[in-house]
Amino acid sequence: MPQKYLRYFSLLLLVVLVILLAKYIHREGKKAEYLAQGERFYQIHCASCHGPKGEGGRGPTLAVPRLPRAPTKKLLKRVIRSGIPGTEMGRSSLSEEQISQVAAWVDHLGQALPGKVMPGNAERGEYLYFTKGNCNQCHAIKGYGGALGPDLTEIGLSRSADYLRTALIDPEADVPTNTLPFRFDVRIPNNFLQVTTVMKNGQSITGVRINEDTYSIQVRDSSDRIHSFFKSELVELHKDWGKSPMPSYRNVFSEEELDDVVAFLVSLRGER
């Protein structure tokens, strides 16, 4: 190739490379700006439950490679847009563009952070759950166990390890304190309420409200017995918002045993 054509070719190649680099920088800049917007909306609307970095809290951990309830971006946007019926995840007031930005940021969280390594042993935790902890007296897994406390079959999908550990040592740390009426379409924990009833003969029953309307209330006691009362027949009805009948396991389990039980609870994702 003649020397002058070689110079032209080199110059043309340099121009093309500069154009491609400029387009790449522009595209990456737009992507970074898009993610920054998603992070901003996430911190405002999502971080209080799911943690500033998606590490979980009242809501499940989002900094994972695959979200069990939203494995695709389409499903993730649907969950953000419509919430999950019967849970604390409500509908979003964000626009479609903002929802897409939040979904992009949540997806980024799963790629940016490695999965958290659980310190405990889930198999030992399962043994402790059914023996020393006697947790199945009040909680059910796949239909086996008591019904006084929340069903734990899928607790690993809805609560982080840190949240579960706190719940074990301080059960009243996050008991709902709202005073909204009982809702038939909402499951525990939003409906959770400890009540004490006193009848005209002086008999007192303490348990968890499982149903209530204007005239009556139904209560499940610690032995799993269900009691139904007409409110007109009661001389006292105490609603203990923020209280829990669950004992603290702070002095029941050692630190290592707590790690084991938490590891077991986190492993409960409905498929066991």
Residue 65 pLDDT greater than 90, yes or no = no
Predicted confidence band at 28 (pLDDT cuts at 50, 70, 90)?
A: confident
Instruction: Please report the pLDDT score of residue 189 as a whole number.
Output: 53
The pLDDT-based confidence of 114 (bands split at 50, 70, 90) is: low
Structure-token pair, residue 6: 């070689």
226-230 and 194-199 beta bridge pairing? unpaired
pLDDT recorded at residue 179: 53
Q: What is the DSSP letter of 152?
A: -
Chain mean pLDDT for the chain: 84
Q: Output phi, psi for 207, to 5 deg.
A: -170, -160
Burial of 180 (0-12, 13-18, 19+ CB in 10 A): exposed
The H helix count followed by the E strand count for the chain is 8, 7
pLDDT at 271 over 70: no
How far from each other are the two terminal CA atoms of the chain, in whole angstroms? 69
pLDDT tens readout for residues 218-227: 998 888 899 9
Segment among 9-13, 91-95, 110-114, 161-165 with least mean pLDDT: 110-114
